Chain A
Amino acid sequence: MTIRISRRTALAGGVAGASLLAAPAVWGQAINRDRIILGMTQEPVQFNPILFVNAGTENVPEACLFDALWDINDKGAFIPNLAAQVPSRQNGGVSADGLTWTINLKRDVKWSDGAPFTAKDVEFTYQAIVSPNTPVRSRTGFDLIKAFRVKDDFTIEIELSRQFVPFLWAWQNMHIIPRHILGNEANLATAAFNANPVGTGPFLLRSRTAGSHMVYERNPNYHRGPAKVRQFIHKFVPDTMAAYGQARTGEIDYFGLLGVPPDRWAEGRNLADRDFLVYPTPNVQFIYYNCGKPQFADARVRKALTMALQMQKSIDEIYFGTWPRSLSYLQPTHWAYNNNLKDYTNDPAGAEKILDEAGWRRGANGIRQKDGVELKFTMSTTAGNVARQGCQALFQQNWKQIGVEMEIRNMPASVVWGEFTTRSQFDTLLVAWDPTVGLDPDYTARAHSRMIPVKHRQGSNYVQYENTEVDRLLERGVTQTEQADRIATYHRIQEILHEEVPFAAQGGAVQGHLKRKQLVGPAPNQYVTDITWNIQDWHWV
């Protein structure tokens, strides 16, 4: 038998095939109402919430398994969690001079192994955070505690050495760990607990398949009431396009964190049966100039390099206009953002003038140099991030025009953000970061001269920036209680950073998340890096 295909059939087949390729297909995979599957491209590897956390990714087990004293909701308001109420002057939790804080804890909370939660656990968590042996992500605020007193099992009194307004922020970011398990542990960083955690949170870790997924079951005794869905699965799909495909077909119910790539937002918004969430984050993306390298020691050079860049274009064209342009370390919607800053980028002529004045003249090979140092450097970021690579290519072209040579040297995330960053070995980085104390505008950890880890073994001032006026302002900002005073302080800080450019802000990161319409609960919260901040409320309708 021979099969004959008429031209018409072939044409029809072709059209059908083409439409299969072209149409963003959404298949109605049935919803399992007993569970929620969250898909992400990265995988958490350690579950102790006070150790260094790969923000965004390791926040998920943190939110599922642990609780902080209080949380911050999507309106920017603090809501009590393990504490019975958020301390304030009104409820007597904060003394008139702002130095003494009294915290009342809930009385009916149990660890998932049945042991009762008490003030001793909070004290232990505090001691672990300030211990020099713990590689903790931030001690900001906790280092100001002069005295920590456990009044009874459910009352704590904290005395600060000086006023620190973001103290609420410090605690909302710090989840409480169990003393009865970790109290006798010699080294927290290597404790078995870090892979086999016990918490007070809404879920219990049931199983973990490395490289694939983690399964959580709800905690029936959760102190805020059991979660509405029995099972929560956190699935890892490293390839963004594959993860996006799974979100479209319904293999994952919610695709979060980096989310839908910017060039697919238009398509993502129009998918039937899916909600597209525009998710603002606290992260701002920067070019980090390592001020410890001879090319970048002079602030004029850093400013000139920044001026030559087409920053707005990088956002409009490479991020498809999905990000707002930011000129400081805050998202432009932040209450402390300095709206008076002028965008001086996209000015190659101005950049050349400054470099000429600063004594960086073009050599025989066309590259500017001064005192035997060529204006030539590398830029590193996570390898394989297509949008960032696009920005790098654009910046490279911008700099070439003014006689500056930049070489791209990207590496896997674990390498580039390891010692290469923390020991300030880089020339420049393309990196997105949040302010370290929640969304308080305090930027001590990243800009104070005492916070240079290669010099002082603490902090995250990886660019090695030193400016005594900025130091003074940062120290003043955390003691001011009136918002207007704080605004003035932080505006001045942003102004100086905008002129001296230890890091050049590009834009505020915004993500596009995709979820099934029937899934209720996920809500954009720009105050946290944790997309599962209210995981106990997620449910199906």
Chain B
Amino acid sequence: MSAQAAASRRVWRRFMHHRVAFVGGIVVALLLSAALFAPVLAPQDPTLLDTSVRFLAPFADPRFLLGTDELGRDTLSRLLHGGRVSLTVGLVAMATTVLTGAVIGIAAGYLGGVADTLLMRFVDTMLCFPQVFLLLVVAAFVPPTLLSISLVIGLTSWMEVSRIVRAEILNLKEQDFVAAARALGASRARIMFRELLPNAAAPILVAATLKVASAVLMESYISYLGYGVQPPLASWGNMLTNAQGYFDTVPWLAILPGIAITATVMGFNFLGDGLRDALDPRLRMDP
């Protein structure tokens, strides 16, 4: 067995023994597959309205397992289809955030000097603007589609990740293995992305899982302001927004998407926790 295979087996074993992470992984897997198979699983068309059956409570009618909303649309179908939108936005925005943040953070941290100063001042500038404001400015110029919303959210929230990564790299680049790589004649790019990046994986992963959660919420903000996912397309964010007018009379309309968002956030966080523990080469805590 090669050393690499042994290493990945060790990571897998550690991950599987991390109970919380295991649960998180299952929750995320369930949510993702529910979203993936939404067209098959959803009992109704999520935009089909029938005002004769509005505000049905969950489990009150076998045709509408989780009840109906203010226009008589099936809540279960909307949750499933909304999950596709929200999770796509969450994952794509997370990927954008992490990619941009990590590249800028590593470059700034490792290259130092002028590059560091320029990049970090750019980050400062971006951080000066409240994110919602930044989002609205960009969104005003870009017509709202699923991809554009995800990218816009991703491109306005990578700054924290780049700060975290830079700090980590500043610490790592003074260590012996970097000096060793440099002595062996490794190129800058190789050192940055093959040596430093895996060692900085832990904070990046944690940041990434948190970003999924905040992107799902961010989508709901901009939907509320009219720049997000347009009605009648469901997303968990706009389901929650629509439910606020009925919070005292029909609370489940808010509770159900709320549960979905909470499950996503917690699932990804637990998963991130476990991945960090399993991947971090510095944590030698084999069971």
Check if B47 is an interface residue, CB within 8 A of chain A: yes
Question: Could you tell me the dominant secondary structure of chain B's interface residues?
Answer: loop
- Interface size for A (C-beta < 8 A) is 28
User: Distance in Å from the Cβ of A205 to the closest Cβ of chain B?
Assistant: 30
Q: What chain B residues lie within 8 Å of A411 (beta carbons)?
A: 226-227
Given contacts A392-B231, A393-B71, A407-B230, contact A412 B49 (CB under 8 A): no
Q: Are A383 and B71 in contact (CB under 8 A)?
A: no
How far is A240 from B47 in the complex, measured between Cα atoms in Å? 25
Whether A81 is near chain B, meaning CB under 8 Å from some CB there, is: no
Q: Decide if A384 touches B70 in the complex (CB within 8 Å).
A: no
Q: B48: CB under 8 A from chain A?
A: yes
Closest chain A residue, CB of each to CB of B228: A383
Task: Say yes or no: B226 contacts A390, CB within 8 Å.
Answer: no
Answer whether residue B183 sits at the interface, using C-beta atoms and an 8 A cutoff. Answer: no
B174 CB contacts on chain A under 8 angstroms: none
Q: Is the CB of B48 within 8 A of A317?
A: no
Whether B226 contacts A412 by the Cβ 8 Å rule is yes
Verify if A115 is at the interface (C-beta below 8 Å from B). Answer: no
For A261, the closest partner residue in chain B by CB is: B245
Which A residues between 370 and 422 are near B, CB-CB below 8 angstroms?
A: 382-384, 386, 389-390, 392-394, 396-397, 407-412, 415
B198 sits at the interface (CB 8 A): no
Choose one: B226, B241, B246, B247; the contact of A410 (CB below 8 Å): B226
Residues of A within 8 A of B71 (CB): 318, 390, 393-394
A241 adjacent to B225 (CB under 8 Å): no
Tell me, yes or no, whether B242 is within 8 Å of chain A by CB.
Answer: yes
Docked complex Cα distance between A383 and B70 (Å): 17
Residues of A within 8 A of B47 (CB): 393, 396-397
Residues of B close to A383: CB separation below 8 A: 224-227
Is there contact, CB below 8 Å, between A397 and B226?
Answer: no
| B245–A410 CB distance below 8 A | no
Given A240-B245, A384-B224, A384-B226, CB of A389 within 8 Å of CB of B231:
yes
B262 adjacent to chain A (CB < 8 Å): no
B132 to chain A, nearest CB (A): 13
In the assembled complex, the CB of A115 is this many whole angstroms from the nearest CB of chain B, namely: 43
Q: B232 — which chain A residues lie within 8 A by C-beta?
A: 389, 392-393, 396, 408
User: Are the CB atoms of A241 and B245 closer together than 8 Å?
Assistant: yes
| Interface: B286 (CB within 8 A) | no
Collect the chain A residues with CB atoms within 8 Å of residue B247's CB. 241
Chain B residues contacting A397 (CB-CB under 8 Å) are: 47-49
By the criterion of a CB under 8 Å from any partner CB, how many residues of chain B are at the interface? 23
Q: Which residues of A contact B227 (CB under 8 A)?
A: 383, 411
Give the docked Cα–Cα distance between A144 and B242 (Å): 48
Is A106 positioned at the interface, with any CB of B under 8 Å from its CB?
no
Q: Which residues of B contact A394 (CB under 8 A)?
A: 49, 71
* Binary per-residue interface labels of chain B (64-75) against chain A in the complex, 1 for a CB within 8 Å, 0 otherwise: 000000110000
Scan A227-259; emit 1 where CB is below 8 A from any B CB, else 0. Answer: 000000000000111000000000000000000
Question: How many Å lie between the Cα of A246 and that of B241 in the bound state?
Answer: 20
The answer to whether A386 touches B70, judged by C-beta atoms less than 8 angstroms apart, is yes
What is the CB-to-nearest-CB distance from B58 to chain A, in angstroms, rounded to a whole number?
Answer: 17
A313 interfacial by beta-carbon distance below 8 Å: yes
Contact of B231 among A241, A318, A410 (CB under 8 A): A410
Q: Please, which residue of chain A has its CB at the minimum distance from the CB of B224?
A: A384
**Is A3 an interface position by the 8 A CB rule?**
no
Which residues of B lie under 8 Å from residue A415 when comparing CB positions?
140
With A241-B244, A384-B226, A412-B225: A393-B231 Cβ-Cβ less than 8 Å: yes
Residue numbers in A under 8 Å from B224 (CB-CB): 383-384
**Within residues 23 to 70 of chain B, which ones have a CB less than 8 A from any CB in chain A?**
47-49, 51, 54, 70
Task: Considering the complex, give the chain B residue whose CB is closest to the CB of A244.
Answer: B245
The reply on B248 being an interface residue by CB < 8 A is: yes
A21 in the interface, Cβ–Cβ < 8 Å? yes
Contacts of A392 in B (CB 8 A): 231-232
Bound-complex Cα distance A241 to B225 (A): 17
- Rounded to whole angstroms, the CA-CA distance of A394 and B247 in the bound complex is 23
Q: Report Cα–Cα, A415/B140, bound state, in Å.
A: 9
The smallest beta-carbon distance between B168 and chain A, in angstroms, is 40
Could you say which residues of chain B place their CB within 8 Å of the CB of A389?
A: 231-232, 242
Contact B245 A390 (CB under 8 A): no
Q: Bound state CA distance, A15 and B232, in angstroms? A: 37
Specify which of B140, B226, B246 lies most central, judged by the most chain A CB atoms within 10 Å of its CB. B226
Closest to B238 in A: A389
Contacts of B51 in A (CB 8 A): 313, 317-318
CB distance from A114 to the nearest CB of B (A): 44
- Report Cα–Cα, A305/B269, bound state, in Å: 49
List B contacts of A393 (CB < 8 A): 47, 49, 71, 231-232
Q: How far is the CA of A411 from the CA of B223 in the complex (A)?
A: 10
Residues of A close to B246: CB separation below 8 A: 263
Q: Indicate if the CB atoms of B230 and A409 lie closer than 8 Å.
A: yes
Q: Which residues of A contact B230 (CB under 8 A)?
A: 407-410
A residues in contact with B48, CB < 8 Å = 397
Cβ–Cβ < 8 Å partners of A409 in chain B:
144, 230
Give every chain A residue within 8 A of B225 (Cβ-Cβ).
383-384, 412
Given the complex of chains A and B, what is the CA–CA distance between A397 and B49 in angstroms? Answer: 8
Q: Which residue of A lies closest to B246 (CB)?
A: A263
Q: How far is the CA of A412 from the CA of B136 in the complex (A)?
A: 11
A150 to B223, CA, bound (A): 56
Q: In the assembled complex, which residues on chain A have CB atoms less than 8 Å from the CB atom of B231?
A: 389, 392-393, 408, 410
Give 16 CB contacts A-B under 8 Å: A21-B248, A239-B244, A313-B51, A317-B54, A318-B71, A382-B226, A383-B226, A383-B227, A389-B242, A390-B70, A390-B71, A393-B49, A408-B230, A412-B225, A412-B226, A415-B140
Excluding A383-B227, A386-B242, A393-B49, 17 further A-B contacts by CB distance (< 8 Å) are A239-B244, A240-B245, A317-B54, A384-B224, A384-B241, A386-B245, A389-B232, A390-B70, A393-B47, A393-B71, A396-B47, A396-B232, A397-B48, A409-B144, A410-B226, A412-B226, A415-B140
